[in-house]
Structure 1
Amino acid sequence: MLSVTMDRGTRLFDMLPSASISHIAIAIFAILTIQWIVTATYRIYFHPLRHFPGPKSAAISPLPLAISLFNGNIHIYLRDLHAKYGDVVRVSPEELSFIDPSAWKDICGHVTKTNHDSMPHKQWERYGRSVNGSYTLLNAPDVHHTRMRKIFNPAFSDRALKQQEPLFIKYADLLVEKLKQSLEKDPERKVDMVRYYNFTTFDVMGDLTFGEPLHMLEQNEYHSWVNIMFGGIRIGLTILGALYYFSIPNILMKTLLLKSKTVMQKRLRHFQYAVDRVSKRLDKGRESKGTDLWDFVLGQEDGKGLTRGEMDSNAALFMIAGTETTATGVSGITNLLLTHPDIMCKLVHEIRSSFSSSADMTMEALAALPYLSGCLKETLRLYPPVPSSLPKITPPAGSNICGHYIPGGYTVFLPHYAAYHSERNFKDARSFVPERWTGDERYADDKKAVLQPFSHGTRDCVGKNMAYHEMRLIIAKVLFNFDLELCPESANWADQRIFTLWEKKPLLCKLKVAY
């Protein structure tokens, strides 16, 4: 039957004069060309965002932005656009990128009753949903986010971090122990510090989130769950993020990707692991020592806590947000110190002269070291763990951002990497200069307020204080106990692509025990 139908269609097609076929093709091409010209003309000369600077190609189509996102070089693309066009750039027909420090307040500032209708809000379609459909701190509407934030805030407070300090020290010391053991076996061994830092941060967050580590430091290998997690970030966030700009392919590809057996299996395995760990932790009940998240969550009054689904979805989120980003920060500062030996010497001197032994280090004492603080801030400027920024959309009434009125329904954002690498904000913007954060008058005019690596406002990272303490502790323990030398293979380590997070390469070093 099918062959008969195809034969009839072929005969009908053959009956058409060749001139008619060419006329149809020309007509279709002409219609598409006219449509493109009309759309391009409107977007360049009549669109509500027409007054904002930017390349004509970006005003006409989101294709350049989507390609840079898909290729992993969006941070360079946006940096170069701002260098050419200024503090605000139209990066696609309906998107504006800002690098002025005041944009943080205007885009991500605290929402009040008086400014509620004029503050940009999240583009929910870009944030995805949890496997079980429950909200997380990342994708919850304001009312649910406020409720969750009140529950989790005590778990990340200074008081809680002080209680949890032995846990952080335990794994930082275990990191040092495992590095020493590897050197005992082979003193000339090239050590991948990225790998060891990941082991450490995942073990810390596993213990903090589930009451037990992933045992990656002990076993010296990645947990299978972590490998699934890394793959899911690239597929789930980056590829679908690029496809967002093209409605028909976006719908088609989302359907294909999310229904794909392989992709769905990875998502479900990742989520199920979190569910199983949460169940195991909840079976223990509330513990008096108060050293993990669930001691605080379970201590909430009846009716004001999290649902079980929210516990599962947030646990899965914490295992991504509280691990990879922290390991990235420590990897970044290690690389920058290794490629700037004079700065390395100054920091090592500060650390080793401040403590008689590694055991004397406390989070409070490390936070008081000025040069360590300057090195860490400068690292987060040059190599922010989350280099792009989460977009928001202006409300129907529109928003005023950096003195510009933006009509309702348009996307606005502040990209970390582009803002931090701009000479408009920092003198010697591409140089590693910790002294800019320690009072050096040469950098008095830097717009330091633009540095917000953990975002800004009511939706900033709930664990930012924990991340700072953890990064300081890990790098201080390593530099106190070891002399590091960068291997030639990792000379260009910082040349990386971005797929939501940095695509880190091995950071190969030779270590020598300092004491």
Structure 2
Amino acid sequence: MTGLMELVLKISALSTFLIFLFALLKSLYNLLLHPLRSFPGPISARATALTYHYASVKGNLHLWLQSLHERYGPVVRFAPNELSFITPSVWRDAYGYRATAFTKDKIFYGPDLFGDPPGILRADNTSHTRQRKLVAPAFGDRALKQQAPITKAYVTLLVQQLREAIMMDKKGKVDIRDWYNFTTFDIMGDMTFGEPLNLLSSSQYTPWVRSIFDNAKLTHLNSVIRAWPFLHWFMRAMIPQSIKEKRETVLRYSVERVERRLATRTDRPDIWTHVLRHSEDEENKDKGLAQTEMWANATFFMIAGTETTATVLTGLTFYLLKNPDKLGRLQSEIRGAFEASEDMTLEKLVPLAYLNACIEEGLRLYPPVCLGLPRTVPKGGAMIEGLWVPGGVNVQVAQYAAYHSSTNFKNPKEFVPERWLPEGQAEYGQDHKDILNPFSYGPRNCLGKNLAYHEMRLILAMVLWHFDMVELCPESEQWLNQKVYVLWDKGPLMVKLKFIRD
């Protein structure tokens, strides 16, 4: 028995030594021989991905990348095979219409949980083009106008519910974060599944919506786990069963609601009416969406068209309350443009210059997707920002770092909507505004961009027309101190409101 124990200890010691030796040699290769060895970055990050993954798991990746760019400049090697850029031309070089040979990083995006063929988010270029052609009409200008009454009805309900909420609280305090979420989820739930989620009417989250938020952390963690294949199965086994069950709840709900909507024949102008109508055209009758594509796309639309829009509105509300002069100017513009809230339409909201400028500044300071969307350089390499990058390397625009960099924006940490207006060009005309692409860029940019802008304009305008935002409550003064796990891990944003008119 003693001899066996000695053998086990020797094997363990040898295994440990070999693992250490491999890690050392790999690190030395990454530092001295790797094709990216000439790109700047901290030694620890260039040697091993552990530094990058540690920042990611801690939820501080956006701040870490910002600090690296402040130290090393516009391009940083933040992991052995990863480059981060904060210059506008990278959008064109790696994400644009001429960069179709670039592919989405498979480790970052992972497999489609609904199976093959995957939905539009993870589809290859050929499948993506086909799916986008079928789905795009549901997000076009014509569909947006037809869907406007649905959107307006929910925003009107938001105003009613906010009024009741502040009447129930002696100080008129509400968590505006939740109310924005209730509204955007109700709108997209109606458009995606053809039935309401009833978040606004019940003033609370459903278990399914809560599961979406909880699943974000698991999605974030899985992107790190996938990078370590030899630990993949072990680490997945360590994930609590409760978290796995929440993910299953998200998937099961989406499948059930999509199938129920597809079984209903209706001309109601929701997403599936437009998709099915376009799929039945003579040109597309043999190119329709597969079942797994429908399930995956419905879930993607729900997440991409809800939490993200509410995130921008919440962040923008915070910045407006911290800048009362900007809030006052925006209120004056909105209240001066409409005699009645019924007059607020898609067409009439678009010309409000200061409202649009505030939204752009909100997207810059608090982008809903603040991390990079990595693309893999095609075999043979490519020129990016005038630099030759070898094939197989992952590149990205670090959005939070890019939008907060003084190389792109003057006074980057300040809330200055005027930088987006002609009046601000004397002082802010040198800003690199073309770096701002919160809805991504090129053939894979966000389909729901126009819908998101319409929702943001309408929700913010309706709230500011009916209510005075009196103040930011003391408990939310440090609200911006947040982690990021795919999505911002936002706490309550407590705001004092005063109802002023019907």
1:29-51: per-residue Cα shift (whole Å, max 9, x none)?
Answer: 76555544433332222211011
SS in structure 1 of the partner of residue 263 of structure 2 = helix
SS in structure 2 of the partner of residue 174 of structure 1 = helix
CA distance 1:480–1:59, shift in 2 (3 Å):
same
Which structure 2 residues correspond to residues 86-125 of structure 1 after superposition, within 5 A? 86-111=73-98, 116=100, 119-125=101-107
Answering whether residue 450 of structure 2 is matched by residue 472 of structure 1, we say no
Q: Give the counterpart letter for 1:503 in structure 2.
A: D
1:228-284: per-residue Cα shift (whole Å, max 9, x none)?
Answer: 11111111x211122233332234323554xx6434432222122112212222222
261-270 or 359-368, larger mean C-alpha shift: 261-270
Provide the residue aligned with 1:442 in structure 2. Answer: 427
In 1, distance between residues paired with 2:476 and 2:95? 37
1:55-92: per-residue Cα shift (whole Å, max 9, x none)?
Answer: 11111011111011000010000001001111110000
In 1, distance between residues paired with 2:28 and 2:165? 64
In 2, distance between residues paired with 1:162 and 1:448? 29
Q: Tell whether the 8 Å contact from 2:63 to 2:401 is kept in structure 1 after alignment.
A: yes
Structure 1 residue 305: Cα displacement? 1.9
Which structure 2 residues correspond to residues 418-457 of structure 1 after superposition, within 5 A? 418-439=401-422, 440=424, 441-457=426-442
Q: Tell whether the 8 Å contact from 1:66 to 1:243 is kept in structure 2 after alignment.
A: no
Provide the residue aligned with 1:281 in structure 2. Answer: 261
Provide the residue aligned with 1:336 in structure 2. Answer: 319
CA distance 1:482–1:243, shift in 2 (3 Å):
same
Q: Give the counterpart letter for 2:393 in structure 1.
A: Y
Aligned to 1:210, which of 193, 204, 214? 193
Q: Tell whether the 8 Å contact from 1:131 to 1:267 is kept in structure 2 after alignment.
A: no
Q: Tell whether the 8 Å contact from 1:75 to 1:417 is kept in structure 2 after alignment.
A: yes
Q: Give the counterpart letter for 2:94 in structure 1.
A: I
Which structure 2 residues correspond to residues 266-345 of structure 1 after superposition, within 5 A? 266-287=246-267, 290-299=268-277, 300-301=279-280, 302-345=285-328
Provide the residue aligned with 2:64 in structure 1. Answer: 77
CA distance 1:184–1:34, shift in 2 (3 Å):
closer
Provide the residue aligned with 1:184 in structure 2. Answer: 167
CA distance 1:197–1:48, shift in 2 (3 Å):
same
SS in structure 1 of the partner of residue 497 of structure 2 = strand
Which structure 2 residues correspond to residues 250-261 of structure 1 after superposition, within 5 A? 250-254=232-236, 257=239, 261=241
Q: Give the counterpart letter for 1:514 in structure 2.
A: I
In 2, distance between residues paired with 1:480 and 1:48? 57
Provide the residue aligned with 2:134 in structure 1. Answer: 151
> Between Structure 1 and Structure 2, whose CA radius of gyration is higher?
1
Q: Tell whether the 8 Å contact from 1:89 to 1:97 is kept in structure 2 after alignment.
A: yes
TM-score by length of 2: 0.94
In 2, distance between residues paired with 1:426 and 1:144? 38
Structure 1 residue 24: Cα displacement? 9.2
1:413-449: per-residue Cα shift (whole Å, max 9, x none)?
Answer: 1111011011111111111110110021101010000
SS in structure 1 of the partner of residue 468 of structure 2 = strand
Q: Tell whether the 8 Å contact from 1:286 to 1:298 is kept in structure 2 after alignment.
A: no
CA distance 1:261–1:393, shift in 2 (3 Å):
same
Provide the residue aligned with 1:486 in structure 2. Answer: 472
Q: Tell whether the 8 Å contact from 1:131 to 1:268 is kept in structure 2 after alignment.
A: no
Provide the residue aligned with 2:228 in structure 1. Answer: 246
Provide the residue aligned with 2:349 in structure 1. Answer: 366
Answering whether residue 148 of structure 2 is matched by residue 165 of structure 1, we say yes
Q: Tell whether the 8 Å contact from 1:156 to 1:465 is kept in structure 2 after alignment.
A: yes
Provide the residue aligned with 2:493 in structure 1. Answer: 507
In 2, distance between residues paired with 1:224 and 1:33? 45
Answering whether residue 112 of structure 2 is matched by residue 127 of structure 1, we say no
Structure 1 residue 211: Cα displacement? 1.4
Q: Tell whether the 8 Å contact from 1:90 to 1:97 is kept in structure 2 after alignment.
A: yes
Identity of aligned residues (%): 44
Q: Tell whether the 8 Å contact from 2:107 to 2:223 is kept in structure 1 after alignment.
A: no
Structure 1: stretches of 5+ with no match in the other structure:
1-7
1:475-508: per-residue Cα shift (whole Å, max 9, x none)?
Answer: 1111111111210000011111100000011000
Aligned to 2:211, which of 228, 242, 248? 228
Q: Give the counterpart letter for 1:495 in structure 2.
A: N
1:297-327: per-residue Cα shift (whole Å, max 9, x none)?
Answer: 1112222221233212211111111110011
Aligned to 1:52, which of 23, 29, 39? 39
SS in structure 1 of the partner of residue 145 of structure 2 = helix
Answering whether residue 5 of structure 2 is matched by residue 13 of structure 1, we say yes
- Hey, which bits of structure 1, 4+ residues long, moved more than 6 A? 20-24, 27-30
1:177-223: per-residue Cα shift (whole Å, max 9, x none)?
Answer: 00111223334242000011110000000111111110010011101
In 1, distance between residues paired with 2:28 and 2:259? 58
Provide the residue aligned with 1:219 in structure 2. Answer: 202
CA distance 1:277–1:13, shift in 2 (3 Å):
closer
In 1, distance between residues paired with 2:15 and 2:257? 58
In 2, distance between residues paired with 1:264 and 1:473? 37
In 2, distance between residues paired with 1:133 and 1:28? 37
Provide the residue aligned with 1:43 in structure 2. Answer: 30
CA distance 1:397–1:477, shift in 2 (3 Å):
same
Q: Tell whether the 8 Å contact from 1:199 to 1:222 is kept in structure 2 after alignment.
A: yes
CA distance 1:22–1:202, shift in 2 (3 Å):
closer
Which structure 2 residues correspond to residues 56-71 of structure 1 after superposition, within 5 A? 56-71=43-58
Structure 1 residue 12: Cα displacement? 4.0
In 1, distance between residues paired with 2:474 and 2:200? 26
In 1, distance between residues paired with 2:439 and 2:46? 30
Q: Tell whether the 8 Å contact from 1:120 to 1:399 is kept in structure 2 after alignment.
A: no
SS in structure 2 of the partner of residue 304 of structure 1 = coil
1:92-134: per-residue Cα shift (whole Å, max 9, x none)?
Answer: 01100011100001111114xxx65xx3211223223333304
CA distance 1:36–1:148, shift in 2 (3 Å):
closer
Q: Tell whether the 8 Å contact from 2:166 to 2:173 is kept in structure 1 after alignment.
A: no
In 2, distance between residues paired with 1:41 and 1:368? 57
Q: Tell whether the 8 Å contact from 1:381 to 1:420 is kept in structure 2 after alignment.
A: yes
Q: Tell whether the 8 Å contact from 2:185 to 2:302 is kept in structure 1 after alignment.
A: yes
Q: Give the counterpart letter for 2:199 in structure 1.
A: M
